[in-house]
């Protein structure tokens, strides 16, 4: 009887130890499994975070490229605007130069026409002796105020159409004892002058042989 009791106690003790070991193993399995699940969750979270960070970086790069493209477009538009402005200014300057050249050409043509008109009017006076109060042998006199001087001036005025406001720059011998040349211009005119050639005709006075308009 005692032996059976001891065997039962021993068997119960073994059962307790075995159950305890099973419980410990099960607990370990739970702990290990929980750690694995937790690590997987952290890994997934990290992956999500990495993916999110990568997407944000890509988005930032795309935005930077987009901004760069926008800046390039803006720069190109500004360059085009500057080029258009330069072209417009260049066209305006060219048109202005053409207008100035046209105005100068018109002015030159008008001046030439005036010269032609003046020369045509003066040509009526060329070759006609003006008459004289002098008699006998003629000697050309270049003393201002003398009769011969005054008759030379009268011939020049008739040929040029100038009046008492005429400026006499020079009145001198024209290359012979009975020839004279006068250089005159309207009073106050400094840019040009008439060059008038004179020839004495006995008993008829001085006549104009040629009238030229020259720059001074």
What is the third-level CATH fold of 129-215?
Nuclear Transport Factor 2; Chain: A, (3.10.450)
Domain boundaries, given as residue ranges, for the chain? 1-123, 129-215
Over 90: is that where the pLDDT of 87 sits? Answer: no
pTM above 0.85, yes or no: no
pLDDT at 122: 46
7-64 pLDDT, tens digit each = 777 788 888 888 888 989 888 898 898 788 877 666 555 555 555 556 666 665 666 5
Out of 6-15, 86-95, 157-166, least confident range: 86-95
Inter-residue contact 147 to 133 (CB < 8 Å): yes
Inter-residue contact 157 to 166 (CB < 8 Å): yes
């Amino acid at each position: 009887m005692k032996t059976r009791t001891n065997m039962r106690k021993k068997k119960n003790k073994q059962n307790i130890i075995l159950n305890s070991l099973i419980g410990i193993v099960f607990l370990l399995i739970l702990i290990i499994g929980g750690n694995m699940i937790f690590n997987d969750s952290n890994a997934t979270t990290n992956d999500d975070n990495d993916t999110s960070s990568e997407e944000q970086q890509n988005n930032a790069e795309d935005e930077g490229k987009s901004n760069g493209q926008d800046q390039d477009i803006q720069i190109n538009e500004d360059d085009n605007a500057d080029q258009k402005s330069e072209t417009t200014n260049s066209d305006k300057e060219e048109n202005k130069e053409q207008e100035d050249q046209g105005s100068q050409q018109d002015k030159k043509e008008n001046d030439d026409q005036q010269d032609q008109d003046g020369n045509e009017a003066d040509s009526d006076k060329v070759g006609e002796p003006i008459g004289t109060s002098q008699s006998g042998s003629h000697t050309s006199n270049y003393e201002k105020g003398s009769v011969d001087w005054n008759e030379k001036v009268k011939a020049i005025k008739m040929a040029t159409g100038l009046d008492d406001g005429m400026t006499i720059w020079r009145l001198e011998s024209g290359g012979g004892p009975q020839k004279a040349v006068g250089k005159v211009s309207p009073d106050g005119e400094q840019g040009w002058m008439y060059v008038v050639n004179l020839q004495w005709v006995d008993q008829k006075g001085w006549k104009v042989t040629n009238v030229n308009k020259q720059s001074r």
